[in-house]
């Protein structure tokens, strides 16, 4: 009888094992050491508005808007209403038309998970920037670590010695549903994320459909929500960094913006709930208790509705793309005891200012 453990068996048989089983090594041994978090002291001016042209619009005119999937060996839905897993496509080789179609498909499915994308991942940060620029102006995060010289690449990072993630240590759970940087005037649309290193198990990512979340609510309540706007704030995230955690830098002063509580996707026209526990602070025009109760009800609905959610288990070489306008997500930090490295990179193009589902809804700033 073999005395190999499950881990050792994988190590002996899998060429991907150096990535799959990934104890922290000295930086000079680490394959992606050049992409480790760097915390420059650069200062950035406020972001300026720009006109976003969504690439998904162009795909609507293609003869077959899903042609980029023609050569896939499998396309499997993760759940009926959220997420598809694709095999057999090399994302790095998709041309301009195919990228437009990809954007439309992500808008329709919320989340696309591409397996076996080592080629894409190994093309490096100049390629990441060129890739993301197809989908919108690249966001530079005000407080996160980035590869030296590449502030457009947002990194999440944790190893045995450090974490540069937004983690609240005195919470009973690491689950924190959010959409990325929703405090910006023009928050992200199609977002690309992948792991350069991952624990052998754990560190999955949760996603939920904010379209489905909204559809579960009663028509009169949705009609009321469509009349509301809410303040989204980057102040707490900046304060977290200023307190010395997460690298300790704030390169752009935090901002607050007002967004509709129900937004409309610019390409599909689908309506989605657009509040999140991490960045939404209050509903405009309501009394404090009214705002808090409605937001807490909505957050509770998002948290517990497993019927709207999908869970992504990362495999080495996985690249995920999601539409931040119609989904929320949460990290899961369940691998903290393992001393393994988890190193992720996000490419975050900004999109349009959120479009209210209710025509003419007044946005105050
Ligand atoms: Fe996020």
Q: What is the pLDDT of residues 286-319, one digit of tens each?
A: 999 999 999 999 999 999 999 999 999 999 999 9
Cα 310 to ligand 1 centroid, rounded to whole Å: 15
Q: What angle do CA 180, 49, 248 make, to 5 degrees?
A: 45
Pairwise CA distance, residues 321 & 189, whole Å: 10
Cα 37 to ligand 1 centroid, rounded to whole Å: 16
The pLDDT value given to residue 299: 98
The pLDDT value given to residue 241: 85
Which two tokens mark 49? 């508005």
What percent of the chain clears pLDDT 90, i.e. is strictly above it? Answer: 81
Is 13 a residue whose pLDDT tops 50? Answer: no
Cα 182 to ligand 1 centroid, rounded to whole Å: 10
**Residue 199 CB contacts under 8 Å (≥ 6 apart), including other chains:** 22, 335, 338, 340, 341, 342
Q: What angle do CA 206, 231, 270 make, to 5 degrees?
A: 55
How confident is the model over 267-274, as a mean pLDDT? 98
Pairwise CA distance, residues 273 & 295, whole Å: 11
The pLDDT value given to residue 28: 59
Cα 180 to ligand 1 centroid, rounded to whole Å: 5
**Residue 77 CB contacts under 8 Å (≥ 6 apart), including other chains:** 83, 84, 85, 109
247 falls in which pLDDT band (50, 70, 90)? confident
The pLDDT value given to residue 107: 98
Span 37-76, pLDDT tens digits: 998 888 999 999 999 999 999 999 999 999 999 999 999 9
Residues whose CB is under 5 A from ligand 1 (ion)?
Answer: 180
Cα 130 to ligand 1 centroid, rounded to whole Å: 21
Cα 287 to ligand 1 centroid, rounded to whole Å: 29
**Residue 148 CB contacts under 8 Å (≥ 6 apart), including other chains:** 34, 38, 40
Cα 53 to ligand 1 centroid, rounded to whole Å: 23
Beta-strand pair 262-264/74-77: unpaired
Cβ atoms of residues 351 and 186 within 8 Å: yes
Is 121 a residue whose pLDDT tops 90? Answer: yes
Cα 179 to ligand 1 centroid, rounded to whole Å: 6
Cα 52 to ligand 1 centroid, rounded to whole Å: 21
232 falls in which pLDDT band (50, 70, 90)? very high
Cβ atoms of residues 249 and 39 within 8 Å: yes
DSSP-derived secondary structure letter, 349: B
DSSP-derived secondary structure letter, 46: P
Is 132 a residue whose pLDDT tops 60? Answer: yes
Which two tokens mark 87? 């095999």
Cβ atoms of residues 323 and 190 within 8 Å: yes
Pairwise CA distance, residues 365 & 273, whole Å: 20
23 falls in which pLDDT band (50, 70, 90)? low
């Amino acid at each position: 009888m073999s005395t190999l453990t499950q881990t050792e068996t994988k190590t002996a048989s899998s060429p991907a094992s150096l990535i799959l089983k990934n104890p922290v090594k000295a930086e000079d041994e680490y394959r992606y050491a050049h992409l480790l978090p760097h915390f420059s002291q650069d200062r950035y001016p406020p972001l300026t508005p720009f006109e976003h042209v969504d690439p998904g619009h162009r795909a609507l005119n293609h003869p077959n808007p899903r042609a980029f999937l023609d050569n896939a060996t499998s396309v499997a839905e993760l759940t009926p209403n959220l997420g598809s897993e694709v095999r057999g496509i090399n994302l790095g080789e998709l041309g301009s038309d195919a990228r437009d179609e990809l954007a439309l498909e992500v808008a329709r499915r919320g989340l696309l998970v591409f397996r076996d994308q080592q080629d894409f991942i190994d093309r490096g940060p100049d390629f990441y920037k060129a890739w993301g620029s197809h989908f919108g102006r690249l966001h530079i995060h005000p407080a996160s670590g980035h590869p030296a010289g590449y502030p457009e690449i947002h990194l999440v990072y944790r190893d045995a010695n450090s974490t540069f993630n937004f983690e609240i240590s005195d919470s009973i759970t690491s689950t924190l549903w959010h959409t990325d940087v929703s405090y910006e005037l023009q928050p992200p649309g199609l977002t690309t994320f992948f792991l350069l290193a991952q624990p052998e198990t754990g560190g999955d990512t949760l996603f939920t459909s904010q379209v489905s979340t909204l559809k579960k609510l009663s028509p009169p309540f949705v009609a009321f929500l469509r009349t509301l706007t809410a303040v989204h704030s980057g102040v707490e995230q900046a304060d977290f960094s200023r307190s010395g955690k997460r690298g300790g830098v704030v390169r752009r002063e935090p901002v607050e913006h007002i967004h509709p509580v129900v937004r409309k996707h610019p390409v599909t026209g689908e309506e989605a709930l657009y509040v999140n526990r991490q960045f939404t602070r209050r509903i405009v025009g309501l009394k404090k208790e009214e705002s808090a109760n409605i937001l807490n009800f909505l957050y509770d609905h998002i948290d517990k509705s497993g019927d709207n959610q999908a869970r992504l288990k990362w495999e080495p070489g996985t690249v995920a793309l999601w539409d931040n306008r119609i989904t929320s997500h949460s990290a899961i930090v369940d691998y903290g005891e393992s001393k393994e490295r988890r190193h992720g990179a996000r490419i975050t193009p900004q999109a349009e200012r959120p479009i209210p589902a209710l025509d003419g809804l007044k946005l105050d700033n």
